[in-house]
């Protein structure tokens, strides 16, 4: 519960002004009820006040959490474009509606952005004024004791023979020792402590901006590219070498950090036994890398899953791996028309992989220009025979029993049409499958084996295989800003949530009967029960200098505390408070003294 | 521990046995707590006329020993009576007395509305109930030891942090749930009422772990080979245990609040046809509310840290800090709803019941993130070892 409202129960009249300011323990905005002033300006001001109010912040926060949900249930383009296509194919009727609502791009959609932008506007409108206000608080003295201390939530009083000045001086000393900020004025002392709460709260909210700034910077100045590299091949960080590249306003193809690396080999190990057989255990890409433009001065390194390689302003992450069978194709005359390692893409955890071979330079057959295409599977651990329905399936991701299954096509690959093609797929529109005995020609090969194609098309041989690894090359500034923001946010939160801001007042006055009345009152957020203990401790210490007197009868003042508590709590059954106050509030008066 | 690598199947077998024992002992503790509640309803605070006395007794019970001492030393002590106004819309004042030299703060009396005073606890005034409760706590401690041992041996058997799959998280979750409760108890907080919800949840969690989620002890997939596993997942599990304690407290706060309202309106019994005596024996709304707020407030920074640590880890494993993977998304949602709750507590018109609902919702998001996302939604985090 906010301190502001400890006593501010409307209904039985507002507390006196001195209490209102004394009780304000936060610079949180005071909720405004209705438009103030008239005309457009008044309404504008009202709207702004509403937008920057806690209530609207609360609603916006809530909206933000609700708005984040659809993105976790519907596939997202940014995360997995392929999944989105599959989903869209399966839900033809819903797709247009979802597209209109930007449900495939929730986190960059207009409505999601609107919520968080409004939230940050609201945050700015709330936090910046609060910061100035708080600076003001730090400059000012702790608010003076309100006239009626009994109205404070925590209260203690006793009579003493010591004179008021001694008691006040002692209180001031004790409060200082407890590291309160203290301000004495005549018969009273005001002390305040726990400013770190407010500091923490402001720090937390402000560092959300640092976080945002970090993200904004990153989205304006970062770029990510992907590259699949086969063992033995190299990579230079230029656009032409990348499989794909996503740049941003300030990081385009010309800004790529100059470096390169050579993939010496890739090793993967897998669980060999038990339930989790086949689960990967380690992936390591061994590389030699260089920065700048001189590829001869290299250093060795390993890129593995939790250990990206940092080179020249970029990071290289290992994100995937697979096999690349080495294939040779000969034409009918025995001339080699194709020889390469072809990366096949894994389809399941056991690395059943699919891929295609496009032989664009086959040349002529029967006086006609011909191209050949092959599509098939690579199985690192092939079963002895395939079931008719399941198709080729690998049993294990390691290369225990590698084999390939291939079918062949002839015709026009479509590679010369100028339209960019997916290198992992055959465009079947101008291809015909080779037949053997009236069936599509198909074969299973183990490394070293070859296959003579039907109709004199020549032969294909499976010479062996290499592994490939795919990397993501990412240049992303702004991380430090975001990270610093995040760390400060946590620090701020700790201060904000674990520190209690609290005030204690001590007043000593001479009563008409010549004794001194010492009164202590405390105020904290109601989450803190500690204030009572703190006050009690202080009071006990204070009694060294201002010992309590035996009370011959109920002191008037304590009685008043019970009575005056009532008007503040109009909704409580107040009759319970009044009658038994004197007895309970100051129990066992006779045994009070030493 | 060099030997441990060699004998890992033995260790993990022992670990499995310990987890089963923990489950069994928690279940026994659960029955003991049920006896405690049942006896308590018979022997205890059946009628409101008897309440005054029993509440006074309860208040006294809090610190009987100190009071005796206090009485003895009262002559020599400096004694200060502090009047505390309850800010929760009630009119109660509690009086606290500080004894010089003792440092002890003694609650000497409460007055006014009984509903503001904490109930006597599950056992009511029944001695049998109290005995059952004590047995339950002893069993809980024993169960905790088994549970902890099970997790520890699992870790030793694979020589890594033992939270690489859902079975392992769940076992660790049992440890943090019961651990939070026992810690609160050890700190002298009035949380004996939490015993039943704690052991019920721990029994269910371990039951689910050993049946549906069981995964043999193995090494981890490469993405989990990181010291961030130790940091991120450990804090997540601690948050889980503590959030659960806060959840139990919030749920009972809402129940007790509803009961108080019914009482004020002259309706018999508690909400949802529960017996009034259950609610009467619980702590006051203000106490429950404060406890849940404190725990949530304490854990929220840790949860924030967990998410940030997760983002850092995601970057080193997958190359991106944040991809709105379902797990990330739901952590974010959970975080925002908890932030909502904290805001609600500072916003007029939202504190109390409404804030309580938000806290429940936030915990529901946490649970969904844990079970729902792992089981029903596939994302990059789907190495949980199920399905
Ligand atoms: C956008 C406008 C926002 C406003 C006007 C706002 C305002 C406030 C205020 C005034 C407090 C302190 C309450 C008090 O001292 O009693 C507070 C606390 C807090 N705010 Fe915000 N905030 C905003 C946005 C956010 C956002 C975006 C978050 C994070 C998701 C956030 C998280 C918190 C947390 C965790 C606390 C601590 C609660 C406590 O002290 O009990 N706030 N906020």
A71-96 pLDDT, tens digit each: 888 888 877 777 788 888 888 888 88
User: In the prediction, which pLDDT does A545 show?
Assistant: 80
Does any CB of chain A come closer than 8 Å to the CB of residue B159? no
- Mean pLDDT, chain B, as a whole number? 76
Quick one: pLDDT band at residue B331, thresholds 50, 70, 90? very high
CB A373 within 8 A of CB A408: yes
Chain A: nearest CA to B98, how far in angstroms? 6
Does any CB of chain A come closer than 8 Å to the CB of residue B265? no
User: In the prediction, which pLDDT does A583 show?
Assistant: 33
- Mean pLDDT, chain A, as a whole number? 79
Does any CB of chain B come closer than 8 Å to the CB of residue A79? yes
Q: A469 - beta bridge partners?
A: A229, A321
Quick one: pLDDT band at residue A344, thresholds 50, 70, 90? very high
User: Of A155-159, A182-186, A549-553, which range is least confident?
Assistant: A549-553
User: In the prediction, which pLDDT does A347 show?
Assistant: 86
- How far, in Å, from the CA of A205 to the mean position of ligand 1? 7
Q: Which of A1, A107, A305 sits opposite B317 (nearest CB)?
A: A305
User: In the prediction, which pLDDT does A393 show?
Assistant: 85
Mean pLDDT throughout A283-301?
Answer: 85
**Residue located nearest, by CA, to atom 37 of ligand 1:** B342
pLDDT at position B159 over 50: yes
Cβ(B64) to ligand 1 under 6 A? no
Quick one: pLDDT band at residue A590, thresholds 50, 70, 90? very low
How far is CA A439 from each of CA A39, A436, A547, rounded to the nearest angstrom? 84, 5, 110
Mean pLDDT throughout B290-294?
Answer: 87
Distance, CA of A411 to CA of A180 (rounded, Å): 89
- How far, in Å, from the CA of B289 to the mean position of ligand 1? 19
Contacts of A72 in chain B (CB under 8 A): 324, 326, 329-330, 333, 373, 377
Q: Which residue of B lies nearest to A526 if distances are taken between CA atoms?
A: B87
CB B132 within 8 A of CB B36: yes
Q: Where are the alpha helices (DSSP H) in chain B?
A: 2-6, 8-43, 48-62, 64-73, 127-158, 166-186, 195-211, 227-228, 234-264, 276-280, 285-318, 326-345, 353-367, 373-376
Q: Which of B90, B98, B344 sits opposite A572 (nearest CB)?
A: B90
User: In the prediction, which pLDDT does B5 show?
Assistant: 37
User: Of A14-23, A59-68, B141-150, B248-257, which range is least confident?
Assistant: A14-23
User: In the prediction, which pLDDT does A18 show?
Assistant: 66
User: Which residues between 109 and 138 in chain B have a beta carbon less than 8 angstroms from any beta carbon of chain A?
Assistant: 109, 111-113
Q: Which helix (H) or strand (E) holds A220?
A: helix A195-221
- Provide the token pair at B45: 């605070």
Q: How many CA atoms lie within 13 A of A208 on its CB side?
A: 19
User: In the prediction, which pLDDT does B157 show?
Assistant: 81
User: Of A17-31, A113-127, A259-273, A475-489, which range is least confident?
Assistant: A17-31
Quick one: pLDDT band at residue A576, thresholds 50, 70, 90? very low
Mean pLDDT throughout A52-62?
Answer: 85
Does any CB of chain A come closer than 8 Å to the CB of residue B344? yes
User: In the prediction, which pLDDT does A423 show?
Assistant: 79
What pLDDT, in 10s, does the model give residues A422-459? 778 888 888 889 888 888 888 888 999 989 888 888 89
N-to-C CA span, chain B: 33
The atom number, within ligand 1, closest to the CA of A60 reads: 1
Tell the burial category of A83 from Cβ atoms under 10 Å away from its Cβ (0-12, 13-18, 19+): middle
Mean pLDDT throughout A97-106?
Answer: 87
pLDDT at position B112 over 50: no
Q: What are phi and psi of A192, to 5 degrees?
A: -140, 145
CB atoms < 10 A from the CB of A426, how many? 19
Contacts of A487 in chain B (CB under 8 A): 308
User: In the prediction, which pLDDT does A15 show?
Assistant: 54
What pLDDT, in 10s, does the model give residues A223-253? 888 889 999 888 888 888 888 888 888 888 8
Distance, CA of A372 to CA of A198 (rounded, Å): 73
Quick one: pLDDT band at residue B87, thresholds 50, 70, 90? very low
| Buried/exposed code over A140-161 (b: 16+ C-beta within 10 A; e: otherwise) | eebbbbbebbbbbbbbbbbbbe
User: In the prediction, which pLDDT does A490 show?
Assistant: 92
User: In the prediction, which pLDDT does A299 show?
Assistant: 86
pLDDT at position B99 over 70: no
Distance, CA of A519 to CA of A525 (rounded, Å): 20
Contacts of B160 in chain A (CB under 8 A): none
pLDDT at position A575 over 60: no
Cβ(A154) to ligand 1 under 6 A? no
Does any CB of chain B come closer than 8 Å to the CB of residue A480? no
| Buried/exposed code over A261-294 (b: 16+ C-beta within 10 A; e: otherwise) | bbbeebebebbeeeebebbbbebbbbbebbbeee
Q: What are phi and psi of A105, to 5 degrees?
A: -135, 50
Distance, CA of A312 to CA of A261 (rounded, Å): 12
């Amino acid at each position: 519960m906010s301190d502001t409202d400890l006593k501010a129960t409307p209904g039985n009249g507002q507390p006196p002004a001195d209490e209102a300011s004394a009780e304000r323990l936060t610079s949180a905005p005071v909720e405004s009820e209705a438009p103030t002033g008239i005309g457009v300006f008044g309404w504008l001001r009202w709207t702004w006040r509403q937008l920057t109010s806690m209530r609207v912040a609360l609603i916006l926060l809530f909206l933000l959490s609700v708005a984040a949900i659809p993105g976790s249930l519907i596939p997202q383009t940014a995360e997995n474009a392929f999944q989105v296509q599959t989903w869209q194919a399966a839900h033809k009727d819903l797709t247009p509606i979802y597209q209109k609502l930007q449900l495939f791009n929730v986190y960059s959609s207009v409505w999601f952005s609107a919520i968080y932008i409004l939230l940050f506007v609201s945050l700015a409108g709330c936090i910046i004024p609060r910061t100035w206000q708080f600076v003001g608080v730090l400059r000012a003295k702790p608010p003076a004791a309100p006239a009626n201390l009994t109205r404070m939530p925590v209260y203690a009083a006793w009579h003493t023979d010591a004179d008021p000045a001694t008691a006040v001086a002692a209180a001031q000393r004790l409060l200082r020792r407890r590291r309160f900020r203290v301000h004495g004025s005549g018969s009273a002392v005001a002390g305040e402590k726990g400013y770190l709460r407010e500091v923490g709260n402001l720090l937390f909210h402000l560092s959300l901006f640092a976080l945002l700034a970090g993200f904004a910077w990153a989205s304006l100045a970062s770029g990510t590219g992907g590259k699949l590299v086969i063992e033995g091949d190299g990579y230079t960080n230029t656009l032409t070498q990348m499989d794909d590249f996503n740049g941003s306003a300030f990081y385009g193809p010309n800004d790529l950090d100059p470096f390169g690396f050579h993939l010496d080999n890739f090793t993967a190990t897998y669980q060999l036994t038990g339930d989790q057989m086949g689960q990967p255990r380690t992936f390591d890409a061994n590389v030699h890398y260089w920065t700048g433009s001189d590829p001869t001065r290299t250093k060795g390194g390993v890129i593995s899953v939790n250990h990206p390689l940092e080179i020249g302003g970029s990071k290289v992450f290992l994100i995937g791996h697979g096999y690349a069978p080495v294939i040779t194709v000969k034409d009918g005359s025995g001339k080699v028309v194709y020889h390469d390692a072809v990366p096949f893409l894994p389809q399941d955890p056991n690395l059943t992989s699919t891929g295609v071979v496009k032989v664009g330079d086959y040349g002529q057959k029967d006086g006609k220009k011909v191209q050949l295409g092959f599509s098939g599977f690579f199985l690192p651990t092939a079963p002895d025979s395939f079931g008719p329905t399941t198709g080729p399936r690998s049993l294990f991701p390691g290369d225990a029993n590698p084999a390939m299954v291939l079918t062949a096509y002839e015709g026009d690959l479509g590679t010369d049409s100028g339209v960019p093609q997916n290198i992992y797929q055959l465009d079947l529109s101008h291809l015909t499958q080779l037949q053997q005995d009236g069936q599509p020609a198909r074969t299973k090969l183990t490394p070293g084996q070859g296959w003579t194609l039907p109709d004199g098309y020549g032969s294909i041989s499976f010479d062996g295989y290499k592994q490939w690894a795919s990397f993501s090359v990412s240049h992303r500034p702004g991380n430090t800003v975001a990270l610093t923001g995040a760390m400060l946010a946590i620090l701020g939160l700790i201060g904000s949530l674990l520190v209690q801001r609290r005030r204690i007042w001590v007043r000593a006055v001479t009563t008409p009967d010549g004794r001194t009345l010492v009164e202590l009152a405390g105020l904290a957020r109601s989450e803190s029960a500690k204030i009572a203990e703190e006050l009690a401790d202080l009071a006990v210490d204070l009694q060294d200098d201002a010992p309590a007197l035996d009370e011959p009868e109920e002191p008037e003042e304590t009685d008043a505390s019970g009575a005056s508590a009532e008007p503040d709590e109009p909704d409580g059954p107040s009759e319970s408070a009044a009658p038994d106050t004197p007895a309970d509030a100051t129990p066992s008066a006779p045994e009070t003294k030493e | 521990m060099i030997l441990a690598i060699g004998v890992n199947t033995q260790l993990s077998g022992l670990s499995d046995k310990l987890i089963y024992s923990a489950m069994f002992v928690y279940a026994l503790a659960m029955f003991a707590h049920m006896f405690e509640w049942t006896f308590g309803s018979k022997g205890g605070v059946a009628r409101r006329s008897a309440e005054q006395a029993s509440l006074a007794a309860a208040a006294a019970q809090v610190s009987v020993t100190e009071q005796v001492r206090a009485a003895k030393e009262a002559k020599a002590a400096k004694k200060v009576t502090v009047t505390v106004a309850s800010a929760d819309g009630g009119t109660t004042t509690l009086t606290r007395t500080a004894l010089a030299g003792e440092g002890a703060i003694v609650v000497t009396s409460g007055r006014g509305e009984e509903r503001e005073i904490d109930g006597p606890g599950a056992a009511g005034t029944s001695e049998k109930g109290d005995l059952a409760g004590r047995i339950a706590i002893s069993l809980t401690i024993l169960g905790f030891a088994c549970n902890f041992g099970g997790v520890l041996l699992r870790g030793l058997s694979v020589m890594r942090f033992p939270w690489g799959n859902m079975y392992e998280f769940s076992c660790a979750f049992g440890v943090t749930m019961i651990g939070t409760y026992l810690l609160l108890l050890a700190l002298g907080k009035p949380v004996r009422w939490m015993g039943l919800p704690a052991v019920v949840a721990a029994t269910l969690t371990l039951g689910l772990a050993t049946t549906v989620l069981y995964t043999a002890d193995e090494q981890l997939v490469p993405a989990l080979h990181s010291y961030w596993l130790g940091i991120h997942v450990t804090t997540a599990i601690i948050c889980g245990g503590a959030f659960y304690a806060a959840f139990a407290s919030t749920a009972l706060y809402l129940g007790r609040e509803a009961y108080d309202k019914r009482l004020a309106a002259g309706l018999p019994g508690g909400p949802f046809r529960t017996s009034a005596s259950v609610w009467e024996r619980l702590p006051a709304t203000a106490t429950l509310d404060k406890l849940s707020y404190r725990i949530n407030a304490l854990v929220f920074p840790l949860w924030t840290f967990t998410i940030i640590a997760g983002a850092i880890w995601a970057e080193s494993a997958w190359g991106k800090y944040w991809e709105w993977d379902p797990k990330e998304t739901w952590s974010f949602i959970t975080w925002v709803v908890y932030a909502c709750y904290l805001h609600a507590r500072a916003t007029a018109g939202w504190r109390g019941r409404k804030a309580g609902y938000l806290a429940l919702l936030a915990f529901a998001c946490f649970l969904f993130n844990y079970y729902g996302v792992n089981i029903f939604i596939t994302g990059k985090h789907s190495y949980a070892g199920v399905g």
